[in-house]
Chains A and B, each alone.
Chain A
């Protein structure tokens, strides 16, 4: 049990998937302009990350390993993730139209989120068991959400601050993201 807790803390803070491992940076800068859309994106990312990690783990261990096709990992994982996102979209549109409209464009965007693929690969690389895969994917997604929400909160405040014209928009967002990365680097040594 303590292993799992340690793994979670490590994945959320010390080895934050976004700020330390630099995965999933495009939506990090793209969707963090308002807190509302950031919340939608983080919910969708958490859901898809857990689903994708579990399914890719099963496909890898039950299909690719027995047939000695480990080298097909990248292609197969992309195939699985893309179909999964498509499936989730179809189901959500019918079952929860309100949620579907709230997530809107962010759901299909997740197909191209490097974090989803990165976590799927990390899971098989580090030879996680199924439980470990589950915990690790939840924890990385929480870490990613945390960083995204913090940046979105900061960027909303930029609207009121006096920022030199040179830095307005993306430059200041990138500088902020860099500083956040430094802050999270302070957690290194914590956890595993």
Chain B
């Protein structure tokens, strides 16, 4: 009987001593945290994509509260979330137009020429090491999906003919795919952009024609035919001024190779409103 009592006593005393130390430590080493950080963190997507320029959502939430960082840098948040965050910290922020990634290459398995068969590791960087990849076009998509694996939101998937497809609704424009691609093929464009040359090859027409049937040959037809003068040639590729473009698609109709493409989805009403507000 007495041994039970000693055992209980010893355990109780040990527990008391340990909890005493823990209690003291919790008081002495108390770290003050702003409750707003936690609140903002709950609203952020939590994907830690790094699109805001911070290491993760918690870093960004801390920066918003402590360093007066603007709340509109989160690419994964909708306008409503950003407004809520503004309400918490008591500032106002302009909401910039949403950007989405576009794959600037249309040279899929059926349209681009290949130099050899690649059976190595399924990674674009690995394929690049082997004579610059198996596509004859050294600027085109390698189709091994490094960008797909880099996407934290699952917005990218491999298309039928070996070119990744972006799901505009899921894409937040964090830019992880841009960083993952060894050839800078995905790029971020405003969601309201209407046309885009789906080619990344700046070389002369003849060379492009030899390696791909849908490459931009730099013929300047789109520049000449654009009624709004919204297209300029920069480094052998057309660049579209989104503010001037009215979406008449004259350039798409005139493009002899079909590199200039209509961006498939219609611009959503809410995005238009956001663009105007910004």
At the interface, yes or no: A175 with Cβ under 8 Å from chain B?
no
**Known contacts A94-B29, A94-B31, A95-B29: A87-B11 contact under CB 8 Å:** no
Q: Which chain A residue has the least Cβ–Cβ distance from B19?
A: A83
Please tell me if the beta carbons of A67 and B25 are within 8 angstroms of each other in the complex: no
The segment out of A34-42, A72-80, A143-151 that lies at the interface is: A72-80
* B6 contacts partner chain A, Cβ-Cβ < 8 Å: yes
Q: CB distance B18 to A80 under 8 Å?
A: yes
| Contact for A76 among B3, B14, B19, B22, CB less than 8 A | B14
A95 (CB) vs chain B CBs: closest residue: B29
User: In whole angstroms, how far apart are the Cα atoms of A75 and B123 in the complex?
Assistant: 51
Nearest CB of A to B88, in Å: 23
Looking at chain B's contact residues, the main secondary structure is helix
In the complex, what distance in Å separates the CA atom of A80 from the CA atom of B19? 10
Q: B21's closest neighbor in chain A, by CB? A: A87
B31 touches A63 (CB 8 A): no
Interface size counted on chain B using CB atoms at 8 A: 20
Q: Choose among A63, A72, A75, A83 the residue that contacts B18 (Cβ–Cβ < 8 A).
A: A83
A90–B25 CB distance below 8 A: yes
Q: A75-B11, A79-B14 are in contact. Are A87 and B22 (CB under 8 A)?
A: yes
B120 to chain A: closest residue by CB: A162
Establish whether residues A91 and B14, one from each chain, have CB atoms under 8 Å apart when the complex forms: no
Shortest distance from the beta carbon of B27 to any chain A beta carbon, whole Å: 10
Please pick, from B3, B10, B22, B123, the residue contacting A160 in the complex, using a CB distance under 8 A. Answer: B123
B residues 1-58 touching A (CB-CB < 8 Å): 3, 6-7, 10-11, 14-15, 18-19, 21-22, 25-26, 28-31
On chain B, the residues within 8 Å of A129 by CB distance are: none
Contacting pair A69 B10 (CB below 8 A): yes
- Contact in complex: B18, A162 (CB < 8 Å): no
Residues of A close to B121: CB separation below 8 A: 160-162
CB atoms of B126 and A160 under 8 A apart: yes
Chain B contacts for A69, CB-based, 8 A: 3, 6-7, 10
Once the chains bind, are B15 and A93 in contact (CB under 8 Å)? no
A80→B18 CA distance, assembly (Å): 8
Query: With an 8 A cutoff between CB atoms, is A86 at the interface?
Result: yes
Within 8 Å CB of A79, what residues of B?
A: 11, 14-15, 18
Query: A residues within 8 Å of B by Cβ?
Result: 59, 63-64, 67-69, 72, 75-76, 79-80, 83, 86-87, 90-91, 93-95, 97, 160-162
- B residues with CB within 8 A of A: 3, 6-7, 10-11, 14-15, 18-19, 21-22, 25-26, 28-31, 121, 123, 126
Question: What are 29 residue pairs bridging A and B, where the CB atoms are less than 8 Å apart in the complex?
Answer: A64-B10, A67-B6, A69-B3, A69-B6, A72-B7, A72-B10, A72-B11, A76-B11, A76-B14, A79-B11, A79-B14, A80-B18, A83-B19, A86-B22, A87-B21, A87-B22, A87-B25, A90-B22, A91-B29, A93-B29, A93-B31, A94-B28, A94-B30, A94-B31, A97-B31, A160-B123, A160-B126, A161-B121, A162-B121
